[in-house]
Amino acid sequence: MSKNLGNLIDLNKDLNKIAIICEDQPITYKSLDILANSVAYSLSKKGIKKGDKIAIISLNSIDYVIMYLGILKLGAVAVLINIKHPQSQINYILKETNCKLVLKDIGDLEIPTGVEFLFNTPIEENDDAVILYTSGSTNLPKGVVFSHKRKLHLEITSKKLKQRKTISASPFPHNQGLRNVELSLITHSTLIILPKFDAQEFIKNIKKYKVDTIVAVPTILSLILNEKDFKSEDVDTVKTINSSGSQLTQKLNDNIIKKFRNATVYNRYGLTETGGGLFEHHPTLPTPPLSVGYPSTTIKYRIVDNILQVKNPSMMVKYNNIKNDRLTEDGYFITNDLFKIDEQGFYYYLGRSDDMFTNGGYNVYPRQIELILETHPLVKEAAIVGVEDEIKGTKPYAFVTLNGEITENELKEYILKQLPPSHCPKKIWIKDTLPLTIINKIDKNKLKQIARNNI
């Protein structure tokens, strides 16, 4: 296969196989490749050249995948923008990247029909290929630039995977969503995609298409399990559940295993900048619950001051237009995430180092408090934020959702039985739901603002 990241389809395999299904509409590998080549041809007729930046702003769709592959086949750079970004951030991204064109669906192009164009623009593996943007919930979003070398890690990973039937509602501009598409195509699998998440639709598609693999963030998995029409027999085809984006709790992990009766749950870890897929299975030992896995032989790891640093051959090459101050001189990316390793070599995520704050001289790690709260049988979700305090420095505040009746004071007493007073939240707000970011993680920046406004 060529170095071009747009050429993920193996033309020597069965091209009549269904590649993608979206809203009950299927497309074969043959049609997908022909249309992607046609997009590349149409873009070239518009004067788009190798290296030009083309934005895609759309919900997940088959058209989205066609446009993405077509842009890359031409040697242009795909700028993937989450449609949920505020308009001000979208405008900022378009200006910062100097995009030549914005696509919403292939109807934005004059696509020729009945002709097969073969596009395979010569590229070097270090040429820019795609730019993904961080959510930018506090500051302006940062563009994370990947080269065509991203394909190298996809090829290495694909050799360890069987053909699958995967379902995902993760937005394509998020690394998890994009990686789902890329891995499904390069393994010649079938991917069922949802334009946006809906628990009933998710479950219905699992049953209808006999899905065997789910990829989702923990929040989405929790919403699926809490769907009132959920029946274990509807999801018995599922054999693998890959949870990523944030870390599973023991309670959610146990609940998933209970209700997805035939599935094995994997707690995945990766950052936008590192490209995902950082850990894998041990050759003989099972992965312990809540571990993110065992080191891959193709990736280098080290822990400095309890913070994980990694060197992945296909991780980001740079931030767009800003200095990458998280890259060491010898090429390791500083994740800013706290990790530990057990005696058998399995890695465990402990939380963000930059979430840590000092309360009266004591270091407080929010994830530690969240994990304690989430062991309480009546707590579904917990989120801890630190708010500035003139005397103590920063104080912890908590937001929880519940499965039953319990008071704020009872929750505080539960925490104080297991953690020192410095870790006990000043106040605990009980909510029906917690706000989510555009990639369905708990929005701690919004929670911090709520706390500031109510103390």
The conformation of residue 6, written as its DSSP 8-state character, comes to T
315 CB burial (10 A radius; 0-12, 13-18, 19+): buried
- Look up the CATH number of domain 18-348: 3.40.50.12780
Distance (Å, whole) CA 89 – CA 433:
26
Q: What is the pTM of this model?
A: 0.88
pLDDT tens over the chain, length 455 residues: 589 999 999 999 999 999 999 999 999 999 999 999 999 999 999 999 999 999 999 999 999 999 999 999 999 999 999 998 888 889 999 999 999 999 999 988 988 876 677 778 889 999 999 999 986 444 678 899 999 999 988 998 888 889 999 999 999 999 999 999 999 999 999 999 999 999 999 999 999 999 999 999 888 999 999 898 899 999 999 999 999 887 788 889 999 999 999 999 999 998 889 987 899 989 999 999 889 999 998 899 999 999 999 998 889 999 998 888 899 999 999 999 999 999 999 999 988 888 888 898 888 989 889 989 999 999 999 999 999 987 888 999 999 999 999 999 999 999 999 999 999 999 999 999 999 888 788 999 999 999 999 98
In the chain, domain spans: 18-348, 356-453
Burial 144-167 (b: 16+ CB within 10 A, else e): bbbbbbbbbbbebbbeeeeebbbb
> pLDDT tens, 306-316?
999 999 888 99
pLDDT at residue 138 in the model: 46
Burial 433-453 (b: 16+ CB within 10 A, else e): ebbbbbbbbbbbebbbebbee
Distance (Å, whole) CA 20 – CA 11:
16
What does the chain come to in residues? 455
> pLDDT tens, 192-221?
999 999 999 999 999 999 999 999 988 899
Distance (Å, whole) CA 271 – CA 113:
39
CATH entry, 356-453, from 3.40.50.2300, 3.40.50.1220, 3.30.300.30, 3.30.710.10: 3.30.300.30
Distance (Å, whole) CA 290 – CA 349:
8
- Token representation of residue 44: 């070239």
Burial 352-376 (b: 16+ CB within 10 A, else e): bbebbbebeeeebbbbbbbbbbbeb
The conformation of residue 60, written as its DSSP 8-state character, comes to S
Contacts of 95 (CB under 8 A, 6+ apart): none
